[in-house]
Amino acid sequence: MPDPRRAIPRTDALLAEPRIAKFAETLGRDLVKAAIQAAQQAARAGEIAPGDVVDGVLARLPASAASLRPVINATGVVVHTNLGRAPLSAAALDALVAAGGATDVEFDLATGERARRGRGALAALAAAVPAAGAVHVVNNNAAALLLCALALAPGREIVVSRGELVEIGDGFRIPDLLASTGARLREVGTTNRTSVRDYADAVGPDTGFVLKVHPSNYRVAGFTSEAALSELAGLGMPVVADIGSGLLAPHPLLPDEPDATSALRAGATVVTASGDKLLGGPQAGLLLGDADVVERLRRHPAARALRVDKLTLAALEATLRGPRPPVRAALDASVASLRERAENLVRALEGVDARVVSCVAAVGGGGAPGVELPSVAVSLPARYAAALRTGEPAVVGRVERDRCLLDLRTVRPEEDAKLREAVRRCG
């Protein structure tokens, strides 16, 4: 009997096969060749017939040349760090595509001369926070704080409360970040109580600035006190306020979450914040404040190493100028609308053990710790969690009391149909 493996198509023949060849244009030859080799190996192992190798190749081709997979966030965590934090608005996504080619990011089309980089995004940010004398953007909030230390406190002291020496995730700690710049931390107060007098006693000729950090990913409750920004502003030293979550103005659902506008009006010299949390935009570090100080930060040599690319600038501007981003929509969604969507989904899942349940969502992303957002979920047997997570599209929910909850506060309404089909495929 002839060896059936001799019937397995050769690599060059498969690369030339029309149904496969077209993918080399979109995915690249290397990815297509890897899928071919995997299908050939499956045929040699007897897992598929030689005549099914072409279909085997097509089944193994990835959806795109990038390994990141789209995910439907049904966790109930609005700003989920592990899922990329803020999902971008349609306007921001369109801006990313437009900025993908050659753009006028640093060029004036009218004069044909060089122009200020990202001027549109900076103008949009300045318009969103009129209380700021000037604005600048770097690649994340940690970079914004790093730049402040490099420019305002080289070899000098940064006065900060012991209760605000926070760890921001994955083992990174603000004290280590600041110390890496050569600045010295002058810790004042205690873990639970720090007064303006503690700061005043520490401030002196060697002070670079006073740092006020919002403990955005934890709460200290009980016998506590802290100095207000307005009190620190009266010490005669620059005050850098790290508000963290990127809220630019007060939000009625988050009364205890600091915002950039209020911080500046209270006397902060510079406010640092994130772009990919409550603002709902791309990853970025926002610097807002005194015009002279922000210009000093912008002109520091390290600012070049921390600058953002054209894609970030485009997405940030579209987020600021465009329609309500998904994060804001998720925060503002009414429980009644969530319940109506959940009931429609359950009705469409006839034959599936699906129920409508009330639940609690969270802001996440190091913002508004302890704030509970009333929400509604579709409840399924726990076994659905893994099947949905590994399906197409991937759906990430959470398991509570042996049930898989798909929290609709973090699922965009336009994703409901995909969510319904994903559940059906797991049934």
Q: Is 88 helix (H, G, I), strand (E, B) or coil?
A: coil
pLDDT, residue 253, reads: 86
Q: How does DSSP assign 93-156, residue by residue? A: HHHHHHHTSS--TTEETTTTEE--TTHHHHHHHHHH-TT-SEEEEESSHHHHHHHHHHHH-TTS
For residues 289 and 268, the answer to whether their CB atoms sit within 8 Å is yes
Q: How far is CA 107 from CA 252, 311, 339, in A?
A: 40, 15, 49
Span 155-182, pLDDT tens digits: 999 999 998 888 776 777 888 999 999 9
CB count, 10 Å around CB of 364?
25
Q: How far is CA 121 from the centre of its chain?
A: 18
What is the phi/psi pair of residue 328, to 5°? -65, -40
SS3 breakdown of the chain: % helix, strand, coil, rounded to 5?
40, 20, 40
b vs e for 142-156, b when ≥16 Cβ sit within 10 Å of the residue's Cβ? bbbbbbbbbbbbeeb
**Whole-number Å distance between alpha carbons of 232 and 199:** 8
Per-10-residue mean pLDDT for the chain, 427 residues long?
77 94 93 95 93 94 91 97 96 97 95 96 98 97 96 96 82 86 94 93 96 78 87 96 92 90 97 96 98 97 96 98 96 97 96 96 83 96 97 95 97 97 92
What is the phi/psi pair of residue 300, to 5°? -65, 140
pLDDT, residue 390, reads: 95
For residues 395 and 59, the answer to whether their CB atoms sit within 8 Å is no
DSSP-assigned beta bridge partners for residue 211: 160, 240
pLDDT, residue 186, reads: 95
For residues 198 and 188, the answer to whether their CB atoms sit within 8 Å is yes
Q: How does DSSP assign 277-331, residue by residue? A: STT-SSS-EEEEE-HHHHHHHHHSTHHHHT---HHHHHHHHHHHHSSPPHHHHHH
**Whole-number Å distance between alpha carbons of 323 and 339:** 24
**Half-sphere exposure for 271 (CA within 13 Å, toward CB):** 33
Cβ neighbors of 305 (< 8 A, separation 6 or more) are: none
For residues 153 and 183, the answer to whether their CB atoms sit within 8 Å is yes
Cβ neighbors of 104 (< 8 A, separation 6 or more) are: 115
200: its two tokens: 């005043």
For residues 376 and 367, the answer to whether their CB atoms sit within 8 Å is no
pTM (2 d.p.): 0.91
**Whole-number Å distance between alpha carbons of 174 and 323:** 34
Cβ neighbors of 168 (< 8 A, separation 6 or more) are: 142, 174, 217, 366
pLDDT, residue 113, reads: 96
pLDDT, residue 217, reads: 63
The closest alpha carbon to 423, from 411, 406, 408, belongs to 406
Span 229-245, pLDDT tens digits: 999 999 999 999 999 88
The closest alpha carbon to 423, from 383, 371, 364, 369, belongs to 383
